[in-house]
Amino acid sequence: MQEEVDDKFYERADAHIHLSNGQINKSITSGKVSASFMYSLARFNSWVSACNFQNSEQMREAKDELIEYFTKEYRQMLEENLEDYTSNFDSYMQITDNKKPNE
C-alpha cells in the first residue's frame, strides 16, 4: 500500500466494511457479500481508470498495466491485513478458551 494515505483513508474504508457487514444475515453469507464487494471494487476501479483516458483504444492499450497495478496493490493490502489478523486473531475474533469464531 502507498506509504502516505490521506487522513480520511481509513474512515472511508471502515464505511465500506460497515456497509458490507450490514449485508450479512442468515440467508446472505459473508462469502456472498465478499464476492459482491470485490465485484463492485473491480467495477469502480475500471471506471476510475477510464476517467484517465481519452478513448477506449488508449484504455485497451493500458489494460495489462492497469491489471498489474491493481493486482499488486490488492495483494500487498491483503498480505498486510492477513498478517495483522494472524497476529491479533484472538482479539479480533473475540476468541476465549471455549469459544470458536462465529459462535
| pLDDT per residue as tens digits for the range 77-92 | 999 999 999 999 999 9
The predicted structure's pLDDT at residue 1: 46
Of 40, 49, 88, 44, nearest in space to 67 by CA: 49
C-alpha to C-alpha distance for 42 and 51, rounded to whole angstroms:
14
Instruction: Count the helix, strand and coil residues of the chain and give each as a percent rounded to the nearest 5.
Output: 70, 0, 30
53: which DSSP letter? -
The whole-model pTM stands at 0.83
What is the Cα–Cα distance from 39 to 71, expressed in whole angstroms?
14
3-state secondary structure of 41: helix
In this prediction, the residues of the chain whose per-residue pLDDT falls under 50 are: 1
Span 29-103: which CATH code?
A: 1.10.287.3020
CA distances from 78 to 64, 65, 82, 99, 103 (A): 21, 20, 6, 26, 25
What is the model's pLDDT at position 98? 60
For position 99, what pLDDT does the model report?
Answer: 60
